[in-house]
Homo-oligomer: A and B are copies of this chain.
Amino acid sequence: MPEKKITLSHGSGGKATQRLIGEIFRKYFSNSILDRLEDSAFLPGERGKILFTTDSFVVSPIFFPGGDIGKISICGTVNDLTAMGAIPKYLSISFILEEGFDFFALEKICSSIKKTSREANVKIVTGDTKVVEKGSADKIFITTSGIGFRDPKNNISIYNVKPGDNIIINGSVGDHGLAILNARQDMKFTGRIISDCAPLNNMIHACFDKGCKIRAMRDVTRGGLATVLNEAAEASGSGIEVYENKIPVNRPVRSFCEILGLDPLYLANEGKMVIFAAEKDTEKCLKILKDHKYGKHSAVIGKVSKGRGVFLKTAIGGKRPLITLESDQLPRIC
């Protein structure tokens, strides 16, 4: 590995993260389960239905429009399990607190965790707390792990994506990333930008309950929509084409991005799922999503093809490759 020091890019979810995983973590931890690098690990045995996932949350600021580090720590883990077709059931939560951290803030975060886990119908069953000296951490870091169960017949996996599948997203992209940037820099842009942070399990399970054939899902977090599409294309050995004018982008996000020169396709979300659906079930799935509060602006944004790579059909009729970025546009987004 040419690098000698960890940089912020290594935590971006982009190419530098992929190199870190490939050249260090897989070198030492490789096994057939880990190597799939899906949103949750599928545990063999136990009648083939336990899924397991983990995420650390270091978002800054810890309170932002639309959420806080507590809410995001539940949503992130719930959505990772949901993306694998599991019903999230049990969470662990581990706090690393900085000496001097405010009790009132901790209590607010805990109250938010309670509210979100109730909505997502998950139980926090175990936890841990460590405190480090002032200056050795930034306020509060939270790591949540989750266990979910799925029907063994429900074989959802990014490896199953097939040419002809439609690509659906349940609403606008970029909201979370910009909400954080705005909160951090206090830019006071007109048009309030609110994080889309939300637990998506109830919405997705409504699709399952009504028999929609979903081939694969991935929640859009660090690295944005572009990164998720590239991961799917690579894992399944297919090509992907998305239509720029079909991708929902909220008006304030669009203007903000234009001013700052940011691309919403690379900005993080915390309440968006990219769904690969069999063609025949696409309309049914879209209808169910649109009926849910987190899916009102759902849209079919593209199609899986026989080719390779991810391409964006631009609004003016051009076609350009949509690559995975070297590093994220913003650090500590989640």
Contacts and interface: CB of A to CB of B under 8 A. Distances in A.
Interface of A: 1, 3-12, 17, 20-21, 24-25, 27-29, 31, 33-34, 40-41, 43, 46, 50, 52-58, 60, 89-90, 92-104, 106-107, 110-111, 113-114, 117, 123-133, 135-138, 141, 143, 145, 147, 149, 331-332, 334
B33 A123 contact: yes
Contacts of A27: 110
A20 B107 CA distance: 10
A5 B28 CA distance: 40
Nearest to A7: B99
Contacts of A57: 130
A133 B97 contact: no
B331 A97 contact: no
A91 B318 CA distance: 46
A145 B6 contact: no
Nearest to A20: B129
Given A58-B132, A92-B52, A130-B56, A98 B6 contact: yes
B33 A143 contact: no
Given A27-B110, A131-B331, A103 B5 contact: yes
Given A52-B147, A96-B141, A133 B331 contact: yes
13 contacts: A6-B99, A6-B100, A6-B106, A7-B100, A7-B131, A8-B99, A25-B110, A28-B110, A52-B92, A56-B96, A58-B136, A136-B138, A137-B141
- 3 A-B pairs closest in CB distance: A11-B131, A145-B145, A54-B92
Given A5-B103, A25-B110, A107-B24, A128 B56 contact: yes
Contacts of A104: 4
Contact of A125 (B41, B93, B334): B41
Contacts of A137: 58, 136-138, 141
Contacts of A101: 5-6
A334 B305 CA distance: 50
Contact of A41 (B17, B90, B110, B135): B90
A114 B111 CA distance: 37
Contacts of A43: 89-90, 125, 147
A58 B96 contact: yes
A218 to B, nearest CB: 15
B113 A28 contact: yes
B96 A127 contact: no
B141 A110 contact: no
